[in-house]
Structure 1
C-alpha cells in the first residue's frame, strides 16, 4: 500500500510544477505568478506541526499552530493576496490547526485517496468510443465546461497536466464527446516508485446516469502504464462512494483549510 506521504507528494506535484517554491519551517509554500488569483496556485502544502505528547487545552496555547498561522499570513501578504490556503495529510496537525483556523475564518475540507482494489467490470454499451491523447484537448474542454467548471480553471488544470506530460481519455458517442478523464505520472524522489494521479473525471449532464463515468474510470486504469496499486484518485466525501462503487478502496486521508474572499 502506498504510504500517505507518497500519496501527498503525487497530489501536490500538480501545484508545484508551475510555481515558485519556498521551503518553510511548516511546509512548502508555492506561488504561481501567472495564476495568482486562483487559490490552488498559491498555498502552503504538506503542512506539519512539530509533534507534541499532549494537545494544548485551548486554542491560544498552541504556540506552534499560532506560528504557522502567522507565517502563512506573512507569506500571503508578500504577494498581496487576500485568500489563504493550507493543506496536508498529517492527522495531528489537522486536529491542532482546526480550532485556530476556524476561529480565523477558515473552512476545512477533507478528502480521501483511493486506488483500484478490484477489476471494474466492463460495460455493455458498444456505442462508446474511447480515445487517449495529450491533456488539454478541445473535446475535453467542452465536456468540463458542460458540467460547470469555469474556463480559467480548465485552462489552469490543462497547463499543469501538460507540464507533467499528462494524458486524458475522451469518450464519444456518435462522434460527440460526452466524457473525459485524465491522469499524470509523478516520478517522486530517487528510489521511489512512480505514482499516477487522476486529474479529473467529467461526464456531460445529458449522458450522466448511464454508466459513462464508470467506463471512463476503467479506461484510465486500463490505459495508465502503472500497476493498479499506484493509480490514485483523491475525492471529496460526496464523490468517494462513486469510486468505491467501481472498485476503488481508500488508502489515505488528506485535508485542506481555506479562507477565500
Structure 2
C-alpha cells in the first residue's frame, strides 16, 4: 500500500513541474508564470499547520491558521492574482483550516486516491481500437472538447503532462475518437519507487454508459510501465464508485480549499 505522502508527491508533481517554487513555513507555494490565469497553476501545496497541543476553542483563537491565511494573501498579491488555492493531505490541518477559510469565502473539495487491487485485462472483442500518443494529440483534444473542457485548460494540462513525459491512450470506434485517458510517471527520488498518476479519463457524451470508460482504464493499466499497485487516480466522491467497480481500492484522502473570482 502506498503512503499518503508518496501519493501526494506524485499528485503534486504536475503542479510543480512548470512552476517557480517558494518554500514557506506552511508548505510549498508554486507559481507558473506561463499559465498564471489557471487556478491550478498557482497553489500552496503540502499545506500543514504546526500541530496544536489543544484544539483552538474558537476560529479566532487559531493564530497559526490566521497566519497561514495572511501569508497566502501576501504571496498571491505579489503576483496580482485574485484567486486562492490551498491543497494538502494532513487531516488536522484540514479540520482547523475549514472554518477559517470558509469564513473567507473558500470552498472545500475532498478527493480520494485509489489504486488497482484486482483489475481485468482489456477485452479483445469490443470493436474498440486503442492508440497510445504523447499528450496533446488532435484526437484526444476532440474528446476533451466534446465533454466541455475549457480549451485553455486542455492546453495547460497537455503542457504539464508533456513536461512529465506523460502518455495518453485514445480509444476509437468506427474510426472516430470516443475517449481518452492519460498518465505520467513520478520517480520521486531518494529510493522511492515510481508512481504513475492518471491525469484524466474522458468519454464523449454519445459513447458514455457503454463500457468505453472501463475498457479505457483497463487499457491504461495494461500499457503503463509501472505495476498496477503503484498506479493512482484521484477522484471526487461522485466518481469513486466507478473506479471501485473496476477493482480499485481507496488508498488515501487529499483535500483542497479554493476561492475563485
Q: So what's the TM-score if we normalise by structure 1?
A: 0.98
Aligned to 1:67: 67
Q: Identify the residue that residue 41 of structure 1 maps to in structure 2.
A: 41
Q: Is the 8 A contact 2:185 2:195 kept in 1?
A: yes
| Residues 53 and 125 of structure 1, relative CA distance in 2, 3 Å threshold | farther
Cα displacement string for residues 226-255 of structure 1 (whole angstroms, at most 9, x for unaligned residues): 111110000011111111111100000000
Count, aligned residues: 261
Over 3 Å counting, the alpha-carbon distance change for 1:203 and 1:217 in structure 2 is: same
Match runs of 1:5-44 below 5 Å:
5-44=5-44
Aligned to 1:50: 50
CA distance in 1, matches of 2:28, 2:157: 20
Gaps of 5+ in 1: none
Post-superposition shift, 1:133?
Answer: 1.4
Give me the whole-angstrom Cα distance separating, in 2, the residues matched to 1:18 and 1:180: 23
Q: Say whether residues 1:111 and 2:111 are aligned partners.
A: yes
Whether 2:187 is the aligned partner of 1:190: answer no
Task: Name the CA distance, whole Å, in 1 between partners of 2:175 and 2:122.
Answer: 21
Native 8 Å contact 2:86 2:256 kept in 1: yes
- Distance in 1 (CA, whole Å) between partners of 2:87 and 2:59 is 19
Indicate conservation of the 8 Å contact 1:123/1:211, yes or no: no
Q: Deviations over 1:27-72 (max 9, x none)?
A: 0000011111110000100100111232101001011111100000
Alignment RMSD (CA, Å): 0.9
Per the TM alignment, residue 122 of structure 1 is displaced from its structure 2 partner at its CA by 3.8
Query: Given the two structures, how large is their TM-score scaled by the length of structure 2?
Result: 0.98
Deviations 1:90-128 (CA, angstroms, capped at 9, x unpaired): 000000000000001000000000000112354464310
Question: C-alpha separation between the residues in 2 aligned to 1:165 and 1:172?
Answer: 23
In the TM superposition, 1:175-186 aligns within 5 A as 175-186=175-186
Q: Does 1:91 align with 2:97?
A: no
